[in-house]
A and B are shown apart, each in its own frame.
Chain A
Amino acid sequence: MALTGRTALLAALGSLPVGIWEPSWTGILAVNAPLAVACACDFALAAPVRHLRLTRSGDTSVRLGDTADVTLTITNPSRRPLRAHLRDAWPPSSWQPGTDIAASRHEVTVPAGERRRIITRLRPTRRGDRQADRVTIRSYGPLRLFSRQGTHRIPWSVRVLPPFTSRKHLPSKLARLRELDGRTSLLTRGEGTEFDSLREYVPGDDTRSIDWRATARRTTVAIRTWRPERDRHILLVLDTGRTSAGRVGDAPRLDAAMDAALLLATLASRAGDRVDLLAYDRRVRALVQGRTARDVLPSLTNAMASLEPELVETDARGLTATALRTAPRSSLIVLLTTLEAAPVEEGLLPVLPQLTRRHTVLVASVADPHIARMAAARGTTDAVYEAAAAAQAQSERHRTAENLRRHGVTIVDATPGELAPALADAYLALKAAGRL
């Protein structure tokens, strides 16, 4: 039950006749009694909310930054028409800040015995699952003086996937991949590449590639072509511990790492490699294994959608053990973590030899552009101290990276916008060098 502004307005206007013609209890009664009767009639004539039947349909997943339309179908089985104000409540992060009231409220009229659809448009601001909360319906009478109010709970969930903004780098990286793949004339031969075919020599080919034995058998000079190995295993390891929670710009480090991981996974699956994903802090948060090339991107985004940084120190020993269990044989293990001195030196370095003995290890880290800006600050005392602190942090980072390189680890350290292409380049370089 709820009153409307119109009731209050009529009561306020009623003060004129009371004041002018009948300033007494009689006047008060003469104004308010008809108003109360009208309200009662309105209540009786409003469509009952409880008997409405509501169903949902629509999108169940959406990329972060896109909009999802969830349809609510309202069936009015009563013999009274429904004139209603409706609120389809979702968690606040389902909408851009400030637009939630406009987006969640709807005016709807459903004639008796019919049904209508209304569309709630979500534009989530964060990854993860959004569960629909309750639907509150305020059903007005014909005079709009009084209303019935009730709530329905119609479960619905919309999964908000990582945005994969680094998709824009994919065409150029795929072009680079094709250059490697022997489909173009430019061939780079490296250790570990596999023999592809023999073809006729054209000027400009590497003379070292000439296969003399085959040349002897035919009249022309034959050269061997090579192509990079296929069907290698890549394990993407996302560190979801406390260091991944720090925000670089607007988003946590974890989001930048996911973006880079998605680009690398797409590229690698196109290159014919198998990609697995492990998200770990003190236990396994997500594990995607053994997907086909076509299936890998959807399963990765799905697994990443609900990942959140945990405020715990990452258990490097457990992470290594799980990675060793998950990666089948000599694989490329891409560890998306941070290059901060303490976690790396105390956690990762002691257990790194176990990984590097059997696998190729690549450590990708999200650098903070704000620290670079701080390092360049000059002019005031505060700025110079900031510059000094930033320089100190950067040199520690370099030292940590050097430490890791000494163990044979490839390091990619880039700002969020550049991490994804840098990681893809590092992967392509490793592939070209036949180090997979």
Chain B
Amino acid sequence: MTTEATPPTTSVSPTTRQVWTRSRGIVLAFVCLLACAAVIATLRSDARHGALDPRSGDPYGSRAVAELLADHGVSTRVVTTLAEARTATSPGTTLLVAAPDLLTERQQRQLRSATADSGGRTVLVAPGTWSVETLAPGVSADPVTSRGSTLDPDCTLPAAQSAGSADTGGIRYTTTHLDADECYPSNRLATLVRVPDTTGDGDTVVLGAPDIVHNDRLDEQGNASLALQLLGSRPHLVWYLPSLSDTSVTDQDEEKSFFDLIPSGWLWGTLQLFVAAALAALWRARRLGPLVPEKLPVAIRASETVEGRARLYRKANARDRAATALRSTTRTRLAPLVGVPVTQAHTPETLVPALSARLHGEGQPLHSLLFGPPPADDTGLIALADHLDALEREVRRP
């Protein structure tokens, strides 16, 4: 029974070379992907994206107007946080709020408190109902926008008059200030509103559409002239682009987050625990060899067909068949006991007299028990089975 096996080279793990041969295609594809991504990123990195960005050369950027202003000696500074925008307000500064609707209500209030009576100019580009009433109190936006884009000045504001018609059509505003300039009206509602501050010579300009500062529209109509006069009235222009990285979006002062409250030791300790969990996952993930497959034999019980037949009888309420089967079996067993040949076990004329002679009993109940009609209900069937058993016991008793 014991024999010795000869040792061939038995290792089936792939060698380093095999691993490299198998995986180099994937590695190559991944490197290509990374290279392409790097090339694309490098090629397109100079073009800054984002509408109304004074650094962007896109059709919807505003580099053209910023450069024109620089030619006229106006410096442009881009700020992205509220704090920077607030500190930048001064009498010599124009503050352009590129997308006032992106500011939260609290930011709007803070910005307004900084710009009101600062002496500088505040230009709000297309503020909607959400922001205009906070940033320029007394001005409200009409829910219906103007039909056309190019409008005529139709007011006494010198900048508007000298610029002539311009693409200011967009949101239309009404104001309750009596001394406000309402220009470029569309259906009697102005799309450019200048509200002077109550004190000082600062003012707030509400612009219905950003078109006049877009690169691609700057050379049309009087857009360039209007933009230069609105934004170039002060030596400095602060271009406020609201951003998501602005921490003033969250209400720092009022409530601190959970992570700010727990000590940093806990946070770093948890990070290290995550590292440990990752290592534990790697430890548990590596299995000690694959599962071994095996062909399983079929498992059918030999009695399955009989059980199935029993369930069919039950479902069909086949009391007649069941009773016949039970009676026939009992008759076959009883016949040899009372001296009747098995071939004649199913003839009542032979079996019943032999049985009643053995039991000294009546023939009639025996006849109905062994050869009678099928029982009317299930209780009758159960009783029949019990009576047949009792009869057999009676016959077998010595």
Query: A residues within 8 Å of B by Cβ?
Result: 1-5, 7-9, 11-12, 14-16, 18-20, 22-24, 27-28, 31-32, 49-61, 85, 87, 89-93, 105, 126, 133-136, 138, 149-156, 245-248, 252-253, 308-309, 311, 366, 368, 370-371, 374-375, 378-382, 384-395, 398
Contacts and interface: CB of A to CB of B under 8 A. Distances in A.
Contact of A11 (B1, B276, B304): B276
Nearest to A31: B272
B10 interface: yes
Contacts of B328: 391, 395
B20 interface: no
22 contacts: A5-B280, A5-B283, A15-B272, A18-B269, A19-B272, A23-B264, A27-B272, A28-B271, A31-B272, A32-B272, A32-B275, A51-B11, A53-B7, A60-B1, A93-B294, A136-B289, A150-B13, A245-B297, A247-B302, A309-B298, A370-B301, A388-B326
B310 A374 contact: yes
Contact of B289 (A4, A8, A89, A389): A89
Contacts of A378: 382, 385-386, 389
B326 A23 contact: no
Given A151-B13, A388-B326, A392-B325, A245 B300 contact: yes
Interface of B: 1-7, 10-13, 15, 263-273, 275-277, 279-280, 282-283, 286, 288-290, 292-294, 297-307, 309-311, 313-314, 321-323, 325-326, 328-329, 332, 378, 381-382, 385-386, 389
Contacts of B385: 378, 384, 387
A87 B288 contact: yes
A31 B273 CA distance: 11
Given A49-B13, A50-B15, A389-B325, A371 B303 contact: yes
A83 B244 CA distance: 56
A54 B8 CA distance: 9
A386 B4 CA distance: 57
B264 to A, nearest CB: 5
A247 B300 contact: yes
A23 B265 contact: yes
A363 B256 CA distance: 90
B211 to A, nearest CB: 48
Contact of A152 (B12, B266, B283): B12
A245 B298 contact: yes
A389 B307 contact: yes
B269 A19 contact: yes
Nearest to A253: B302
A308 B297 contact: yes
Contacts of B306: 371, 374, 386, 389-390, 393
Interface centre among A49, A370, A385 (most CB of B within 10 A): A385
B272 A154 contact: no
A126 B295 CA distance: 11
A167 to B, nearest CB: 19
Can you list the 5 inter-chain pairs with the closest CB atoms, starting with the nearest? A19-B269, A246-B302, A136-B289, A388-B322, A11-B276
A24 B268 CA distance: 6
A355 to B, nearest CB: 25
Contacts of B6: 55
Contacts of A59: 1-2
B322 A384 contact: yes
B310 A390 contact: yes
A8 B274 CA distance: 10
Contacts of B273: 12, 15
Interface centre among B266, B270, B329 (most CB of A within 10 A): B329
A1 B321 CA distance: 70
Interface centre among B293, B294, B328 (most CB of A within 10 A): B294
A134 B272 contact: no
A311 B43 CA distance: 69
B288 A382 contact: no
Contacts of B279: 3, 7-8, 11
Contacts of A22: 268
A384 B381 contact: yes
